[in-house]
Structure 1
Amino acid sequence: MEIVREVASKNALVIFTKSWCCMCHSMKALLYELGASPAVYELDQHPSGAQMEGALRALGCTPVVPAVFIGGAFVGSAKDMISLHVEGSLKHLLIKAKAIWL
């Protein structure tokens, strides 16, 4: 679990994904469209991917990917991100974490 917490705390915006996952691709596209440059960890291509995936499961990430952390805190999966974006609070979270600037 420490590896995920360490990565999340060192970056304003982190997304854990798998290269073949269409929802992961959609979440990355949304974040890029908002002007963010997330630290992206492709679990199926990263040397510590299996360990990170286990840590995400232990943290309660369901589904495991995409898993988004903003300002060091777990925000959620694709469903949670879409909800935040629709209600208008995703951009504010990204600004507060200094993941994007106006």
Structure 2
Amino acid sequence: MDRVTKLASQRAVVIFSTSSCCMCHTVTRLFRELGVNPTVVELDEDPRGKEMEKALARLLGRNPAVPAVFIGGRLVGSTDKVMSLHLSGNLVPLLRNAGALWV
């Protein structure tokens, strides 16, 4: 859990992902299209990935635990929560407040 929170707090937007997850790719692409350069932690490519995935599953209360999106060091959630924020117009202000967007 400590590794997850440490990584999540190091950048404005952190996405915990796996390289084969299409929803992870979709969420990452959304952020990039908005002009955000997220840090993407590919759990299947990290030696401690399984440990982090278990911690994320506990945080999210579900498995699979990816994608798990953190904005400003705080857990936002998965694809459904990110898309809900985006469609309601609340994602961009959240990104601005976290320092991920300047426009």
TM-score of the superposed pair, with normalisation by structure 2: 0.94
Deviation at 1:33, TM superposition (A): 0.4
Contact 2:60 2:77 in 1 (8 A): no
Confirm whether residue 73 of structure 1 aligns to residue 74 of structure 2: yes
- Count, aligned residues: 102
| Structure 2 residues without counterparts, runs of 5 or longer | none
Deviation at 1:101, TM superposition (A): 1.2
Contact 1:61 1:77 in 2 (8 A): no
Letter of the 2:97 counterpart: K
Cα distance in 2 for residues equivalent to 1:40 and 1:61: 21
Q: Counterpart in 2 of 1:13?
A: 13
Q: Counterpart in 1 of 2:91?
A: 90
Question: Runs (4+) of structure 1 moved beyond 2 Å?
Answer: 60-63
| Structure 1 residues without counterparts, runs of 5 or longer | none
Letter of the 1:52 counterpart: M
Q: Which moved more, 1:58-67 or 1:69-78?
A: 58-67
Letter of the 1:27 counterpart: V
Q: Percent identity?
A: 51
Q: How large is the Cα RMSD of the aligned pairs?
A: 1.0
Cα distance in 2 for residues equivalent to 1:61 and 1:88: 26
Q: Secondary structure at the match of 2:15?
A: strand
Cα distance in 2 for residues equivalent to 1:61 and 1:16: 15
